Structure 1
Amino acid sequence: MRIESESAKNQWVTAAFECMLDGGLRNIRIEALARALGVTKGSFYHHFANRAELVRAAVERWELEGTDAIIALANREGAPAERLHRLLGVIAGSSAQQGRGELMLFLEASDEGVGDAVARVTGRRIAYVAQLLEEHGVPSGLAQRRAVMAVAEYHGARVIAAGTDSLPVDERVLDVGDAIRFLETTLLAP
């Protein structure tokens, strides 16, 4: 893929973001990205001071696409229970590969200097689920605890899905519809 100068910086960020989703932050390698983009390594330094700057930009993209855009989609319309259903459907539909990349991001965050962004995303996800539950009528403290459990379940399922092939959990065993119904029933209970 050849890149044009006017959108080159954005294409570097997009390529880094895709590498991050594919295998975590350590998967973002400047020389490999330059080869994939059909440019020289010097092009990278025209747009970024160093790799850390590109990593931060990729993580910002993850924050926008993996949290802000999903919340906006879920929040379009409907009662709180409908918005929760939409949210769970969107996140359940994301690929296992994206889950592995996000898992690696969480594990590598402090080493790569993006721990604050990961904490901010986690806090935002918890706050949004808690908000939906409160709007549904769940008392505030209980809504907060359930939201923490829901986000933890999401990440726990990603850990299991990213496990070795010997684990008996995959798309054939774990029915997404069942998981969504279980979460909705648990989260929205009085």
Structure 2
Amino acid sequence: MTSKPRLSKADWLKTGFAALTEDGPNALKAEPLARRMKTTKGSFYWHFADVPAYQSAMLDVWEAEALTALTTVIEEEPNAIARLRRLGAEVTSYDSAVLADANPEHAMRAWAKDDPKVAERVAKVDGLRLDLLDGLLKESGISNPEWARLILAASVGLRELPANDDVAPMDSLIDLVMSLR
């Protein structure tokens, strides 16, 4: 007889992001998640005190991942324009094992419309993203802060379009913005 491997906290969180992306925030409850994972609710409650604690853990993971993307770009790119190009392309990207498959940007924003705690986290992350983009634009000679909002909005929106590997629309947007200097 083979036993099922034990589910980890990360397994539950990964499933939660997939459920959020596919079915919305109503799917973030112990029973539907357990069914999705073909296990019992007991496993859920082994890792999380209750559904609000689980949802809070999801927000923590999402925020940490979103902010990691920002610091990685700053540390790895040599100048403001290179950081701006990469940040524009990656500001709403997720590479961790928990989030990479789900790419929850749109789902987080939809969830935020109905949940003030989620809205607060999204606003915090967006504020940091906008501050960084605005700073890089200023360093590159562009002083209008609305360009930072447009770059962030384009990044969020591009995630909703089908992938097109032949075209780099964010690079085109950054080129257009840089031509305004």
Q: How far 1:119 moved relative to its partner?
A: 1.0
What TM-score do the two structures reach when normalised by structure 2? 0.76
CA contact (8 A) 1:24 1:102 kept: no
TM-score, length basis structure 1: 0.72
Residues 135 and 71 from structure 1, CA distance in 2 versus in 1: closer, same or farther, beyond 3 angstroms? same
Opposite residue 124 of structure 2, the aligned amino acid is R
Structure 2 residue 121 is the aligned partner of structure 1 residue 117: yes
Instruction: Return the offset for 1:71.
Output: 0.8
The alignment covers a number of residue pairs equal to 171
1:187 lines up with 2:149 in the alignment? no
Q: What is the identity, as a one-letter code, of the residue corresponding to 1:75?
A: I
Q: Which residue number in structure 1 is paired with residue 79 of structure 2?
A: 79
**Separation (CA, whole Å) in 2 of partners of 1:184 and 1:47:** 43
- Per-residue deviation at 1:88? 3.0
Q: Could you give the per-residue CA deviations for residues 49-76 of structure 1, whole angstroms, max 9, x where no partner exists? A: 32122112112211122x2121122112
Judging changes above 3 Å, is the alpha-carbon distance between structure 1 residues 10 and 158 closer, same or farther for their aligned structure 2 residues? closer
CA offsets, 1:95-153, max 9 Å, x none? Answer: 9x745x422321221423411011111111111111111222323xx1x2110111122
How do 1:20-59 and structure 2 match up within 5 A? Answer: 20-37=20-37, 39-59=39-59
Moved more, 112-121 or 12-21: 12-21
Which portions of structure 1, spanning 4 or more consecutive aligned residues, are displaced by more than 6 angstroms? 92-95
Alpha carbons of 1:43 and 1:22: their partners in 2 closer, same or farther (altered >3 Å)? Answer: same
Gap runs ≥5 in structure 2: 96-100
Q: For structure 1, which segment, 86-95 or 55-64, has the greater mean C-alpha deviation from structure 2 after superposition?
A: 86-95
Amino acid corresponding to residue 182 of structure 1 in structure 2? S
Q: After the TM superposition, which residues 99-110 of structure 1 pair with which residues of structure 2 at under 5 Å, given as runs?
A: 101-110=104-113
Q: Aligned AA for 1:72? A: T
- Please state whether the residue corresponding to 1:111 is helix, strand or coil: coil
Gaps spanning 5+ residues in structure 1: where? 162-169
Identity %: 27
Q: Map Cα deviations across residues 35-58 of structure 1 (whole Å, 9 max, x no partner).
A: 455642123223323212211211
Higher helix share: 1
